[in-house]
Amino acid sequence: MKPTSPVLTGIGSVTPYGPLAGLISTGPLEPSAITAWTTPGLRRAFLVEAFRPASIVPGLKTRRLDRLSAWALVASSLALRDAGIDLAKMDRSRIAVFFATGFGCVELTEAFFQSAATHGWAETDPIIFPETLSNAPASHVALFHDLHGPNVTISSQGFAAESALLQASSLLRHGQADLAIVLAGDTLTQAIYEWYEAAHLLSPACFSKEQLPSAGGFIPSEGVVAMVLEPIGRQESRPYAALGAGRWAVGGDARTGVRQLLGDATPTFTICTGNGGPCASSHTTCSTRDLVGEDATIYPAQPVASGIGDASALLHLLLALSRHPGAGDALLLATSANGGFAALRLELF
C-alpha cells in the first residue's frame, strides 16, 4: 500500500450480534421469529434485540429518533472509542461523515404517511417529518459529536456501502479530511418484510426452523456498522487494515474492471458481499473464483449481512476481519447480474 493509503482503526456496530466495539467474537447466527408484528404463521429474520442506547453511550437521547439514527449514534460512538480517538484534540471541521443506506429512516416515514392516511395531512405530526429524511442519521452523528466536515449520505442500488468506503478513502487520500466515520445500515419493518415476501425474494428458512438452505432467496436482516478511517501514522492507532485503490461501476464488464484494479497483484483473501443475494450463493460468491483465480481464499457472503441489502458491505467486512486468521492482501468485492461491480483493495494487519 502507498503511504497515503488510509487505515481502518476503529469499528462499532449495532447488529443482530448486539451493540459492540471492535471485532465480533461470537459465531454464526440463526434467524429469530418475528414478534414485533402479527404474521400469518412463522416468519423469521436476523433482528437487533432491543436495548437502551443510553446504557451504551451515557447521555444519549434518542426518544424522538428513528431506530436507524439511534443505532448510527451508538455505532459511531463505539467506533471512535475502539479507535481511541479524542475528538477534543482534533479539528472537527476536518472530520467527515459518510452514511450508506438502502431505505433510510423508513420506520418514521411509515408512521408519518400512516398518520396522514388515517387523520389527513392537517393532522400529521410535524415533529416526525424531519426524521423521515434519509440523511438524518448522518446529521445526528455530526451533531452529537460536534463534527463540521463533509457530510454525505449515499443510497445507490447494489453498492451503497462500497461506494461510501471508496468516497471516504478518496477524501482522505487527497487530504480533504483528517478522519472519516463511515456508516452503513438499515432497519427492518413490517412493510419491507411483506414487500420482500410478496416479491418472492425470501429464503425458505424465513418460514421454518430448518437450517439455512444452501441457495434460494435471502433472509432479511438489520443493523448499522461504523468504521473510523484515518491517515496512517497516529501513534496510538491500532489499524485493522489499510485501504488501497478501488473501483465502482453500475454496468460493464466486471472481470475487466477488477483485473485492471488488481494489475499484476493477486489477493490471497477475497471478501464477497451479498447485497440482498441468496444466502449462500450470491452472484459475487459464484463469480469470484473466475475473477481472482483458483489460489485465493474466498470468504463467501454471509446470510446475516446479505439481508441488509445495499448497505451490507461494512458488516461483510467486519465479519471477515473477525474470522480471518492473519495478515495479507485482500479484495472486498461485490458484483451484480448486469455486470456492475464494486471492488476495494485492502492490506489486512
Higher local confidence (pLDDT), 310 or 168: 168
Q: What is the mean pLDDT of residues 169-196?
A: 94
Q: What is the mean pLDDT of residues 172-192?
A: 95
pLDDT band at 107 (very low <50, low <70, confident <90, very high): confident
pLDDT at 190 over 60: yes
Lowest-pLDDT choice from 74-83, 124-133, 179-188, 189-198: 124-133
Distance CA 27, CA 80 (A): 24
Q: What is the mean pLDDT of residues 225-240?
A: 89
Q: What is the mean pLDDT of residues 107-136?
A: 75
Higher local confidence (pLDDT), 49 or 216: 49
198-222 burial by CB neighbour count: b if 16+ within 10 A, else e? eeeebbebbeeeeebbeeebbbbbb
- What pLDDT was estimated at residue 270? 87
- What pLDDT was estimated at residue 226? 98
Class level of CATH domain 241-348:
alpha beta
For the chain, the structural domain boundaries read 6-231, 241-348
pLDDT at 116 over 80: no
Asked if the domains at 6-231 and 241-348 fall in one CATH topology, the answer is yes
Considering the chain, what is the average pLDDT of its residues?
86
- What pLDDT was estimated at residue 64? 82
- What pLDDT was estimated at residue 80? 97
- What pLDDT was estimated at residue 24? 94
- What pLDDT was estimated at residue 296? 75
Lowest-pLDDT choice from 48-62, 176-190, 211-225, 317-331: 211-225
Lowest-pLDDT choice from 56-65, 110-119, 145-154, 293-302: 110-119
pLDDT at 183 over 90: yes
Give the start-end residues of each E strand in the chain: 6-15, 18-21, 32-33, 44-45, 95-100, 151-154, 179-186, 223-231, 241-251, 269-272, 297-299, 328-335, 339-348
- Cβ contacts of 244 within 8 Å, gap of 6 or more: 1, 2, 5, 344, 345, 346, 347
Distance CA 348, CA 321 (A): 8
**CA 104, chain centre distance (Å):** 12
Residue of 234, 217, 151, 220 whose CA lies nearest to 185? 220
- pLDDT over 90 for what percent of the chain? 51
pLDDT at 284 over 70: no
Q: What is the mean pLDDT of residues 175-195?
A: 95
- What pLDDT was estimated at residue 266? 78
Class level of CATH domain 6-231:
alpha beta
Cβ(183)–Cβ(153) under 8 Å? no
DSSP state, residue 6: E
pLDDT, tens digit (0-9, with 9 covering 90-100), for 244-283: 989 888 777 777 888 888 887 778 888 888 654 544 445 5
297-to-24, 96, 215, 229, 331 alpha-carbon distances in Å: 20, 33, 21, 25, 10
Q: What is the mean pLDDT of residues 320-333?
A: 85
